[in-house]
Amino acid sequence: MSTETEALLRPGRSRRWRVLRWGALAVVVLAIGIGAVFGARLGTDPTLVDSPLIGQPAPTREVPYLEQPGAMSLADLRGQVVVVNFWASWCVPCREEHPALVAAARDYRSAGVTFVGVNYQDGRDSAVGFLDELGRGGPNYRYVTDPGSRLALDFGVFGVPETYFIDRQGRIAAKITGASSYPVLARVLDAVLAGRQPRSEVTGPTQPAPGR
């Protein structure tokens, strides 16, 4: 390359270079931005998804009882506050939360709260065995099964345990994802009974599928 041609090409080149340089600096800024965005996401659990059903009418599909003949529908319980808990015998966190659910059902029976335990993708024998081992709730705690996971699909269940709260108007008021505990249950139930809008809670991971 002779010096003349270089001189001739110089202006065009430095203009082009300026574009390149700004481009490179834009990438630097972008990198820091992406870093910030992902940094903000670091602590969160990507497996948790919000429910769009909050405030919507609860599903009314009829489901058979687990341990007795017959079936029930959530529509039968309209006018009461209902706690719908999806559980399975293969689910590890369900074991943890079971005593809390039973205790809450006992304590809120006088307030007219009904609990419905929906057995999710489970065998009947192992489900009954689970209840035999860990104990059942009182008369206001109904255990039902969900053939074909239909009710679970209606509720948009991702895994177990998940717990939904239905208010007296039959609307889904709140959801707990993961194992519930007595304080969390009590807080949400108090709010629903008082007609306030409770906050949905994420308490931990759910287990998506059975270990056969």
Burial (0-12, 13-18, 19+ Cβ within 10 Å), 194 = exposed
Residue 102: CB minimum distance to another protein, A = 23
Q: What angle do CA 50, 52, 54 make, to 5 degrees?
A: 100
Round to whole Å and give the CA distance between 154 and 60: 9
Residue the block writes with tokens 């994802």:
177
Residue 53 interacts with another protein (CB under 8 A)?
yes
Among 11, 46, 69, 139, indicate the residue that binds another protein (CB under 8 A).
Answer: 46
Residue 57 interacts with another protein (CB under 8 A)?
no
Residue 92 interacts with another protein (CB under 8 A)?
yes
Only one of the segments 3-11, 76-84, 103-111, 178-186 lies at the binding site for another protein (rule: CB under 8 A); that segment is 3-11
Q: Which helix (H) or strand (E) holds 96?
A: helix 92-107
Residue 138: CB minimum distance to another protein, A = 30
Residue 196 interacts with another protein (CB under 8 A)?
no
23 vs 11, 13, 20, 31, CA distance in Å? 19, 15, 5, 12
- In the shown chain, the binding pattern of residues 11 to 30 toward another protein, with x for contact by CB under 8 A and - for none, equals -xxx--x--xx--xx-xx--
Q: Which amino acid is at 64?
A: P
- Non-local (6+) Cβ contacts of 122 within 8 A are 88, 89, 90, 145, 210
Residue 165: CB minimum distance to another protein, A = 17
Binding site for another protein (CB under 8 A): 1-2, 5-6, 9, 12-14, 17, 20-21, 24-25, 27-28, 31-32, 34-35, 37-42, 44-47, 49-53, 56, 90, 92, 121, 148-150, 152-159, 207-212
